[in-house]
């Protein structure tokens, strides 16, 4: 009997792991860790599941950064993660721009499919964390549990409303990667996937008007 394929954890980069810069992360000096990320990846690593980065880096196609620079940023990022007790199995990036119509640029799920093929991953048993709707779409296309975080571009509340009104199973919203990690760990423990975390609900009860609260 073939060994059952394992699930994996897929993390978007900009806006999940590091600050999303409107002018893009073009050098290691511009790579700014978001709070709690190293601890979160260390906790996720303890699940024993493979962890992948999947990131759109059209700056390569646009000539804003050399491909080797992006690879160097990923090598340094992974070294820092490992020094903090975590691991990343591979950092996948799409170097293309929108007009190139590739299969890897999210919202297309090409990078997820590639990892599934290369590492024998069952995507339907996998988790994805992203700050953009295109991340969520990529996950939905291949059946991962998909978590939208409010860091980076996730501060756009339209996306949160969109997610919450879809009421699809295995979609959730969390404050940041630490909060998403709690969500993933509880789902791996056999709990039903939460749609929102207590931290997110508290944050929104404080920040939203009564009108907006009815969305939640």
Which residues does 111 contact at the CB level (< 8 Å), separation at least 6? Answer: 52, 54, 92, 93, 94, 104, 138
- Note whether 105 binds Zn ion by CB under 5 A: yes
Is-contact 149 175, C-beta < 8 A?
yes
Query: Which one of residues 15, 109, 139, 172 is an interface residue with Mg ion (CB under 5 A)?
Result: 15
Query: Which one of residues 54, 57, 131, 146 is an interface residue with Mg ion (CB under 5 A)?
Result: 131
Closest by CA to 60, choosing from 47, 51, 69, is 69
- Note whether 112 binds Zn ion by CB under 5 A: no
Query: Whole-number minimum distance, CB 162 to Mg ion, in Å?
Result: 16
User: Rounded distance, CA 210 to CA 171, Å?
Assistant: 24
Closest by CA to 50, choosing from 80, 4, 111, 91, is 91
- Note whether 108 binds Zn ion by CB under 5 A: no
Residue 131 near which of Mg ion, Zn ion, none (CB within 5-8 Å, type-dependent)? Mg ion
- Note whether 174 binds Zn ion by CB under 5 A: no
Binding range to Mg ion, per CB under 5 A, among 34-42, 109-117, 131-139, 200-208: 131-139
- Note whether 95 binds Mg ion by CB under 5 A: no
Is 131 part of the annotated catalytic residue set? no
Quick one: CA torsion of 195, 6, 70, 57, rounded to 10 degrees?
-50
Query: Which one of residues 43, 96, 106, 153 is an interface residue with Zn ion (CB under 5 A)?
Result: 96
In this structure, the strands spanning 51-56 and 9-11 are: parallel
Closest by CA to 9, choosing from 137, 151, 112, 155, is 112
Is-contact 98 117, C-beta < 8 A?
no
- Note whether 12 binds Mg ion by CB under 5 A: yes
Query: Which one of residues 84, 102, 188, 216 is an interface residue with Zn ion (CB under 5 A)?
Result: 102
Is 12 part of the annotated catalytic residue set? yes
- Note whether 58 binds Zn ion by CB under 5 A: no
Binding range to Mg ion, per CB under 5 A, among 13-21, 22-30, 57-65, 88-96: 13-21
Residues annotated as catalytic (active site), given as ranges: 12, 14
Applying CB under 5 A, the residues found at the interface with Mg ion are 12, 14-15, 131-132
């Amino acid at each position: 009997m073939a060994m059952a394929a394992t699930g994996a954890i897929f993390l978007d980069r900009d806006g999940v792991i590091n600050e999303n810069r409107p002018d893009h992360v073009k050098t290691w000096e511009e790579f700014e860790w978001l709070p709690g990320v190293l601890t979160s990846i260390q906790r996720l690593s303890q699940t024993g599941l493979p962890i992948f980065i999947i990131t759109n880096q059209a700056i390569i196609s646009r000539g804003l950064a050399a491909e080797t620079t992006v690879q160097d940023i990923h090598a340094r990022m992974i070294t820092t993660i490992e020094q903090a007790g975590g691991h990343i199995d591979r950092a996948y990036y799409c170097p293309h721009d929108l007009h190139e119509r590739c299969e890897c640029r999210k919202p297309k799920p090409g990078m997820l499919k590639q990892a599934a093929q290369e590492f024998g991953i069952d995507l339907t048993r996998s988790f994805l964390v992203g700050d953009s709707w295109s991340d969520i779409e990529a996950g939905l296309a291949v059946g991962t549990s998909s978590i939208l975080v409010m860091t980076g571009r996730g501060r756009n509340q339209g996306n949160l409303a969109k997610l919450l009104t879809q009421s699809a199973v295995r979609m959730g919203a969390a404050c940041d990667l630490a909060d998403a990690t709690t969500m993933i760990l509880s789902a791996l423990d056999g709990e039903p996937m939460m749609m929102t975390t207590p931290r997110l609900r508290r944050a929104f009860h404080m920040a939203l008007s009564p009108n907006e609260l009815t969305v939640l």
